[in-house]
Structure 1
Amino acid sequence: MRMRVLLLGKTSLLGQALVAQAALEDIEFLLVEEPPGSWEPAQVAGWLDALQPDAVLDLSFYHQQFQVLDPTSEGLAAERVFARELVTQCAGRDLLLYRLSSTRVFDGVKEQPYTEKDPLTPIGAHGALQAELDQLLEAQCRRHLLLRFSWVLDSSPEGMLQRLVSQLLAGDSVSLAEEWRGTPTPLEDMARVVLAGLKQLDCGSELYGCYHYASAEVASWISFARTLAQELVMDGQLEREPVIEPIPFDSQPAAALEPRNAVLSGRRLLYAFGIKPRTWRVSLTGLLDSH
């Protein structure tokens, strides 16, 4: 890779997966020592001055963005301050800034998949912050790539996938929201897409802007849970599939934090970058094995 890319968030699960995939292609990132606590915005300018990167890939708050159901106000404040400083510093240097986003920037009222042209109508405090930072990036950084994902599946002990696994293992029946829909994205597929976008820009393609990635198969939360339960039975973690009792989405705590419709259209990404979607089913067994 010709570009010198500074990766922030190397110790996150996505950062680790990305570094591993990049190493297979002899791609190395510029790295910094990550703070034991929160990311310090005062350090950003020093990193950029010392390392002189051509681009910055920001995964600093990956876990909070995609796996924490209800981030604390302190966590959101730390994300806001750090991200705003990073945008300011990259814009002043005309660096490529690559950031991720989630479907919490939409309220889920729309029936069809969300596209990049849909207005931001965030849900919850975290959705409001994500929308604020997305708009700031697009307004201030001429050279930017904003990649938005739906349900991200990784091995976080308290993450989206593990919360569902715990529910399925807890008893003979489980109550799940019947109207919740999304496009599940396993971690390794997310890393593949993030790296593919970076390689396209490294080739000189000025395909800046916001893009959505959607896996090849839309799922309801219940249909996804049933597939997951089958995997747990085959893996010997369950004797039999639990009975799933459908309940209204609005009755769930997640309804105040997540959009009812979290389905994204990835057509623009496919046409611009040639990044083809993969089905989430092929990676499910591997994800469960990593728990």
Structure 2
Amino acid sequence: MKILVTGKNGQIGSSLVAQLNTMPDVTLLALDRDQLDITDSINVNKIVAEFNPNIIINAAAYTGVDKAEQQPELAYAVNRDGPYNLAIAANQINAAIIHISTDYVFAGDSAECYVETDNTEPQTGYGRSKLAGEQAVISACSRHIILRTAWVFGEHGNNFVKTMLRLAKTRDALDVVADQFGGPTYAGDIATAIVTISKQIVNGNQAYGLYHFSGFPYISWHAFALQIVDVALEQGVLTHSIQVNPITTQDYPTAAKRPANSRLNCHKIERAFGIQQSDWQAALTRVKDYLS
């Protein structure tokens, strides 16, 4: 397999590179933003044509949920135009493209877990830019996998687990939102899922389309924080107990509205590729790895 990865230094990109580098049958070209600006269509076409990959994995994204409210042009450039450029380039060389999206494409007010065919109704600039990216990829390359995920955490980059560990070391109490629910998703498991899909595509599984992949069991941010603190205490990462107080979304105002329900139904990806949901509890058994 020849695989091109964009956004190699992000949470998911870092995990992808780590896994792909251990595979002797993979020729990998992994690039960061300085090496490949995906909004530059001329450079995208040049690099893709020269490398000629089987699979393009787009792990590059504008992920500033609140900043996107003030920087919509930049959010759309990275989250819509960049993926479109990559998909056009993939189509020109008959490659497949795997593009990572988000639960923010939904309104977040459903009582059920979201399935791939549910109506999209993003409530934020970030969500609208990511939905536009999905549509751009779908329109430009029929050989696409759109992978929506949620609540990503990992050893690299900034995320909720790292924030909780950092704050818990210096405070006696934390206030965490308890009325937003989702499935925390380990970046390493997302990478494993993408590698699995890539292998199957190269081996003839043409189940292209839109898929959900996130963690299980579903939980609130507050309950997730409690688990993080408990594991950190057990492993000696925290040396003192800390109170984790539940608060409401109204108690913690943000520039961009957060979904109350980020639970994604992941049955389709299991049927098509045999991929089960991320076991975030297993990922937390290595909580020392999240210290930065």
Q: Indicate the residue corresponding to 2:181 in structure 1.
A: 181
In the TM superposition, what is the alpha-carbon distance from 1:212 to its structure 2 partner? Answer: 0.6
Partners of 1:35 and 1:256 in 2: CA distance: 25
Q: Indicate the residue corresponding to 1:144 in structure 2.
A: 144
Q: Indicate the residue corresponding to 1:114 in structure 2.
A: 114
Query: Which 5+ residue runs of structure 2 have no aligned equivalent?
Result: none
Partners of 1:69 and 1:287 in 2: CA distance: 25
Aligned: 1:70 with 2:69: no
Contact map agreement 2:6 2:31 (CA 8 A) in 1? no
Q: Indicate the residue corresponding to 1:6 in structure 2.
A: 4
In the TM superposition, what is the alpha-carbon distance from 1:230 to its structure 2 partner? Answer: 0.7
The residue correspondences of 1:30-49 to structure 2 (distance < 5 A) are 30-31=28-29, 34-36=32-34, 39=37, 40-49=40-49
In the TM superposition, what is the alpha-carbon distance from 1:157 to its structure 2 partner? Answer: 5.3
Aligned: 1:155 with 2:155: yes
Aligned: 1:24 with 2:26: no
The aligned amino acid for 1:99 is H
In the TM superposition, what is the alpha-carbon distance from 1:242 to its structure 2 partner? Answer: 2.0
Partners of 1:75 and 1:286 in 2: CA distance: 35
In 2 relative to 1, CA 106–90 (structure 1 residues): closer, same or farther, beyond 3 Å?
same
Percent same amino acid at aligned positions?
Answer: 25
The aligned amino acid for 2:14 is Q
Q: Indicate the residue corresponding to 2:202 in structure 1.
A: 202
In the TM superposition, what is the alpha-carbon distance from 1:77 to its structure 2 partner? Answer: 4.3
In 2 relative to 1, CA 220–84 (structure 1 residues): closer, same or farther, beyond 3 Å?
same
Partners of 1:178 and 1:149 in 2: CA distance: 20
Contact map agreement 2:7 2:33 (CA 8 A) in 1? no
In 2 relative to 1, CA 11–29 (structure 1 residues): closer, same or farther, beyond 3 Å?
farther
Return 208-217 or 47-56, whichever deviates more.
47-56
Partners of 1:240 and 1:32 in 2: CA distance: 41
Provide Cα deviations, 1:256-277, integer angstroms capped at 9, x if missing partner: 3431111111100001111122
Contact map agreement 1:154 1:287 (CA 8 A) in 2? no
Contact map agreement 2:57 2:98 (CA 8 A) in 1? yes
In 2 relative to 1, CA 58–169 (structure 1 residues): closer, same or farther, beyond 3 Å?
same
Aligned pair count? Answer: 285
Q: Indicate the residue corresponding to 2:244 in structure 1.
A: 244
Partners of 1:288 and 1:78 in 2: CA distance: 36
Partners of 2:22 and 2:153 in 1: CA distance: 22
Q: Indicate the residue corresponding to 2:274 in structure 1.
A: 274
Query: Which 5+ residue runs of structure 1 have no aligned equivalent?
Result: none
Partners of 2:12 and 2:224 in 1: CA distance: 22
TM-score by length of structure 2 reads 0.88
Contact map agreement 1:175 1:244 (CA 8 A) in 2? yes
Q: Indicate the residue corresponding to 2:52 in structure 1.
A: 52
TM-score by length of structure 1 reads 0.88
In the TM superposition, what is the alpha-carbon distance from 1:86 to its structure 2 partner? Answer: 1.9
In the TM superposition, what is the alpha-carbon distance from 1:103 to its structure 2 partner? Answer: 0.8
Q: Indicate the residue corresponding to 1:125 in structure 2.
A: 125
Aligned: 1:190 with 2:162: no
The aligned amino acid for 2:243 is V
The aligned amino acid for 2:131 is A
Return 210-219 or 112-121, whichever deviates more.
210-219
The residue correspondences of 1:211-230 to structure 2 (distance < 5 A) are 211-230=211-230
Contact map agreement 1:181 1:262 (CA 8 A) in 2? yes
In the TM superposition, what is the alpha-carbon distance from 1:163 to its structure 2 partner? Answer: 2.2
Partners of 2:29 and 2:36 in 1: CA distance: 17
In 2 relative to 1, CA 32–241 (structure 1 residues): closer, same or farther, beyond 3 Å?
closer
Return 36-45 or 280-289, whichever deviates more.
36-45
In the TM superposition, what is the alpha-carbon distance from 1:7 to its structure 2 partner? Answer: 1.9
Partners of 1:270 and 1:124 in 2: CA distance: 29
In 2 relative to 1, CA 124–146 (structure 1 residues): closer, same or farther, beyond 3 Å?
same
Alignment RMSD, CA only? 2.3
In 2 relative to 1, CA 169–75 (structure 1 residues): closer, same or farther, beyond 3 Å?
farther
In the TM superposition, what is the alpha-carbon distance from 1:243 to its structure 2 partner? Answer: 1.9
